Amino acid sequence: MYGENDKSSRKAIRQRKRWVNQSYRRALHQTIIEKMKLLEENLETLDSAILEVRRKYWKKSPDKPLGAYLKRKEKFIRY
């Protein structure tokens, strides 16, 4: 439907989900290390800094319904 190999999307979806989670964990880790170096005793600022870290957004876009795809294909292909 999108001009890609139909089997590559199975791998790409998992890879993108993994990328979102990995980048979030990395951002949290970097924030914690940064704040611990600067503020060794003030834990409230560490908590607020952790809460400010946001996940990247990715969501799979839905495919076209099969019926709509077949109707469109039927218009272009006449036997």
Distance CA 39, CA 48 (A): 13
- pLDDT on residue 20: 93
- pLDDT on residue 40: 65
Distance CA 77, CA 75 (A): 6
Residue 1 lies in a domain: no
Residue 3 lies in a domain: no
Q: Could you list the residue range(s) of the whole structural domain that residue 52 is in?
A: 8-76
Tokens for 39?
């503020």
Q: What is the pTM of this model?
A: 0.59
Q: State the amino acid at position 9 in one-letter form.
A: S
Residues of the chain with pLDDT under 50: none
- Asked if 37 contacts 19 with a C-beta cutoff of 8 angstroms, the reply is no
Number of domains in the chain: 1
Distance CA 26, CA 20 (A): 10
- pLDDT on residue 50: 83
Residue 2 lies in a domain: no
